[in-house]
Amino acid sequence: MAAMHFALVRCCQLHPWLGGGFGMFSTVDERRLLAWRIGPEGEEPLALPYELEDAAERAEALPGERRLRAIAAALAADLPGAQAVRVEVWETRFGPEMEREPHRLRAALVGVPPAGS
C-alpha cells in the first residue's frame, strides 16, 4: 500500500494527504484549481459554479488530464464569445528560505464550440 501511494504521488501528482496519507505530515496542504476564459481580448479568470466544486476537489487531489478537461468542457459550454477555457491545478511549495513558490501541477485547454453548433 505504501509503495502504491508513493508511486501515485510521484507519477500522477496524487495529493500526499490522500490515498493513504503517508506524506501528510511532511507536506503543505494547499492546492488550488484555477480557470480562465480565453478570448480575442485576452484572458480573464473564471469563478467555478457550485455544481463543479466536487469535481474541482477531486481534480486538486489527483489532477489527471481527463478530470481537468471535463471541468474545462463544462465551463466552456456556457461561455459565448470565448475561444477556449484553460484549467490548471497549482500547489504551494516552499523554497530554501521558506519563501512560497507556486508550482503548476497540470493544465488542460479546451476550445469553445462555435455558437449554434
**84: its cell numbers:** 477556449
23 inside domain: no
**54: its cell numbers:** 466536487
What is the rounded distance in angstroms from the CA atom of residue 8 to the CA atom of residue 62?
Answer: 9
9 inside domain: no
Q: What is the pLDDT of residue 65?
A: 92
51 inside domain: yes
What is the rounded distance in angstroms from the CA atom of residue 40 to the CA atom of residue 35?
Answer: 17
CB-based contacts of 34, cutoff 8 Å, min separation 6 = 45, 87, 88, 89, 90
Note down pLDDT in tens along the chain; length 117 residues.
555 555 656 555 566 655 555 444 555 567 899 999 999 889 999 999 999 999 999 998 888 999 999 999 999 988 878 899 999 999 887 778 888 888 899 999 999 877 655
- The one-letter amino acid code at 38 reads I
7 inside domain: no
89 inside domain: yes
Q: What is the pLDDT of residue 101?
A: 84
99 inside domain: yes
117 inside domain: no
- The one-letter amino acid code at 26 reads S
25 inside domain: no
Total number of domains constituting the chain = 1
Q: What is the pLDDT of residue 57?
A: 92
Q: How far is CA 105 from the centre of its chain?
A: 7
CB-based contacts of 20, cutoff 8 Å, min separation 6 = 1, 2, 4, 5
Q: Which domain holds residue 62?
A: 30-111
